[in-house]
């Protein structure tokens, strides 16, 4: 099975690449092509079509995304190009060539006004350009409807690769005596390595006539404040974390206040076991050499 992984230098793409190289996953029957925007422009329909035909691609894992949530408010066209139009390209080509497409989306498609964990069928209502462009990408994929293809919505992604909240907290925790971190945004972190493993595990099992949406994050519920506290505790950093409200930390893009995802569907469909968020954090800090 020839598998194309887009956005291969991002957090999730890098984790998939490392798992494949370690051969810890049953992917011996798969040949992987790891690309980024420099090696394959997925916003260019023709370029992707030629690539898929020449390499005889059977599976696409689309990890590519415009993830600058605040920058997207002013770079609307670029965010739309990557998060929406590129997904449309991949979905149309997947339909044409019979390719299995796994596309990664976000909790930002919701408005965060729920009082219980979001299920896949809950009404979407993005509050930011990032969320809107990601939802437009989902809708374009649903419209093209490539068979044996899925959308995975995830939240609060971090990894030992790339830039993320965990690495920022580690850096600031060494520089500052105290930090204010938001306590009124509640969700669940997703350790990209855990998501990568799940994706590689479920590829052979995906079999559906119409595009299905699944939620994935680690288990548990917490605020950014709780997350920061645990990072400092595990890394043994003497940095005081103080809870602050969202309004005390104004940002261009509006974030969902509540974005806990219900993962029952992916667990039941694919018999997936999802690790607790602290276990993911523990592993990430060990890989970064920061677990004390």
Coil, helix or strand at residue 239: coil
The tokens 């509006």 sit on which residue?
Answer: 254
| CA-based nearest residue to 194, from 83, 80, 279 | 279
Query: How many CA atoms does the CB half-sphere of 271 hold within 13 Å?
Result: 3
The total number of residues written for the chain in this structure:
292
Residue 255 to residue 252: CA distance in whole angstroms: 10
Residue 216 to residue 261: CA distance in whole angstroms: 7
| CA-based nearest residue to 164, from 20, 39, 280, 42 | 280
For the residues of 180-198, what is the DSSP string, one character each?
A: EEE-S-EE--EEHHHHHHH
**130 tagged catalytic:** yes
What DSSP character marks residue 179? E
Residue 113 to residue 28: CA distance in whole angstroms: 44
Asked if 232 contacts 290 with a C-beta cutoff of 8 angstroms, the reply is no
| CA-based nearest residue to 217, from 110, 99, 59, 105 | 105
Active-site residue, from 66, 108, 130, 258: 130
* Catalytic residue annotation: 130
């Amino acid at each position: 099975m020839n598998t194309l992984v887009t956005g291969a230098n991002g957090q999730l793409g890098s984790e998939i690449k490392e798992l494949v190289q370690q051969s810890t996953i049953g992917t011996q029957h798969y040949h992987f092509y790891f690309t980024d925007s420099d090696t394959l422009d997925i916003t260019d329909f023709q370029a992707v079509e030629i690539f898929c035909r020449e390499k005889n691609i059977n599976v696409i894992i689309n990890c590519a995304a415009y993830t600058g949530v605040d920058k997207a408010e002013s770079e609307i066209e670029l965010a739309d190009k990557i998060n929406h139009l590129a997904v449309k390209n991949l979905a149309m080509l997947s339909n044409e060539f019979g390719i299995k497409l796994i596309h990664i989306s976000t909790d930002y498609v919701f408005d965060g006004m729920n009082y219980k964990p979001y299920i896949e069928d809950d009404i979407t209502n993005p509050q930011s350009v990032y969320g809107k462009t990601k939802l437009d990408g989902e809708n374009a994929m649903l419209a093209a409807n490539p068979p044996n293809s899925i959308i995975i919505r995830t939240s609060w992604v971090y990894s030992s690769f790339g830039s993320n909240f965990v690495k920022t907290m580690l850096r600031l925790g060494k520089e500052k005596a105290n930090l204010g971190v938001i306590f009124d945004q509640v969700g669940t972190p997703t350790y990209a390595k855990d998501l990568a493993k799940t994706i590689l595990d479920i590829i052979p099992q995906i079999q559906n006539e119409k595009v299905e949406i699944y939620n994935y994050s680690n288990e548990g519920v917490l605020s950014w404040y709780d997350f920061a506290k645990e990072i400092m505790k595990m890394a043994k950093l003497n940095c005081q974390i103080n809870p602050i409200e969202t309004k005390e930390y104004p940002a261009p893009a509006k974030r969902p206040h509540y974005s806990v995802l219900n993962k029952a569907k992916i667990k039941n469909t694919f018999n997936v076991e999802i690790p607790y968020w602290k276990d993911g954090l523990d592993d990430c800090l060990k890989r970064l050499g920061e677990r004390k």
